[in-house]
Chains A and B, each alone.
Chain A
């Protein structure tokens, strides 16, 4: 219990001193609220081809009825935007969850056991760093089939690498501290030391990396959907951008169609940046290699 309390205190203490982080959390909460309230916020069904009488509402510019206008197939853009928060958050949070769990475990084990285990795990991490991220996700999703869960899996397969590296080096320092030594002397098992004594000290860090992963995941989902490998059943921001792109929204200058989804993606990614050490990691990026 003490360990959990300590973790919570660590995280909340961090938020209190970092205005950037608070902004990021607020942005996520905002999107979360929209995702939950989507059926009430959206005036139309996002899939519905709206018509009045026998007249389809194709390519309507924004007005009182359609806040952001309609698509070339007569769908309400604002409703799509609102519903788009759902897949974005689903993808973001689930990818971040896997990234946190996998990255933290790898980092903990490598850092705690050191020696051969560490070398092997870090070698694997190096290789994961050698794989180009976006192309990998595209190839995997392209061949596994377009579904949101395939996208999440493809991202999770690579994104854990940053977290693992950082956690490992943190564990290397933490394990040298006195209370770890004391635990070892008192006969605590390795597992107990790792999860009860070390883990609480590095959890805030893995949360930070998890929140960065949320941003990356949303961005990547958008890119994959834009390229046409997205889940066709799901209207995501990336899907909207793809739809706008292939439907000649650019040449028609339908900015009301493709600007808003991009802004949403951008905000989500920025929120991730902000939380993930708003000030340190982003404003003072250090080389991951060092």
Chain B
């Protein structure tokens, strides 16, 4: 049985102009101890997905339908009180803005102890021992516990936030752009540490990032999201090596490739559609270099083209040919015209 199973989850926002269909029916599964990367541009609904799963959402957000099974039970149906029990004990989060995720007016120690005493039923002494242990685990000097968040550097804060996420031995951690704000060297260190920690502790992980190369380094599975939907899903290597969806192909061009560091980076022209009134066909239609008439009229479903590798695109044959074309700058330029 999967540890986490998200089924056709939808998270919408009520806005002044209408309903924004930010997350529109996504599904994925995650086994105990494995990891999945949710990849996509900002605004594609990655972070909203997380908020929906743990149900900490802005007041104008709501979940019209979907199921989220954690350890076999549908947690979307459980009461807020039970949800609160679940948060951090079973599912913890390394947030997008680690910089701002600690209360600036309390010491780091205070916030560690708070969680462990209130949620972990440890007494103060035990909690302090555990906090020191955690700091050692992520490579921070335990004296730093007495500092205020603003006295930490970016990398230190990120480590502290990871340590805090591990505090109660959760079974699943969700990391939201865990290294985006850091410089490249620190990024690599932290990603490696995260990977080791995860294997060491047998944690399952959902990693959210816009940088496809980051997931490559850390995740077993990849789900590519575009405009509130999953457009491609498969094993990490499969998706990276043989992308099936034009969007994934484009996304690969946007980030430096470690094997070809001198390769030119190509951005995908245009921006995602307005999700308040999304177009009827494929949501990537406007920006897709291989778009066909059919794409504008009909929405392609997610289909398994290779074993365990799904794509939501009408291109189902001769994909190699498109993959090669997608490597050319000209291919992406023609979309603008």
Q: Do chains A and B touch in the complex (CB under 8 A)?
A: no
Residue positions of A touching B, CB distance < 8 A? none
